[in-house]
Amino acid sequence: MIRWVLAIFLGLIVFSALLPWLEKLGVGRLPGDVRFKLFGHSFCLPFASTILISLVFFLIARFLK
């Protein structure tokens, strides 16, 4: 269980770093992604996009195995 939490946390960090580039592709605006402004800064928590990208990588790994 702790490995999944750590994997999701690391995925969110990586995804947040890549978000400006991925927004050009339309990723980061799914219904489960949370955006909010706090003290003049815009924050994004891309939960649904992270799950979608993880599923894609899982399927690719599954087919390559």
Task: Give me the numbers of helices (H) and strands (E) for the chain, helices first please.
Answer: 2, 2
pLDDT in tens, 8-65: 788 778 877 887 887 787 777 788 888 888 898 888 787 888 788 888 888 998 998 7
Domain hosting 31: range is: 2-64
Chain-centroid distance of CA 43 in Å reads 13
Predicted confidence at residue 36, as pLDDT, reads: 86
Predicted confidence at residue 59, as pLDDT, reads: 92
Q: What is the CA radius of gyration of the chain?
A: 13
- The domain tally of the chain equals 1
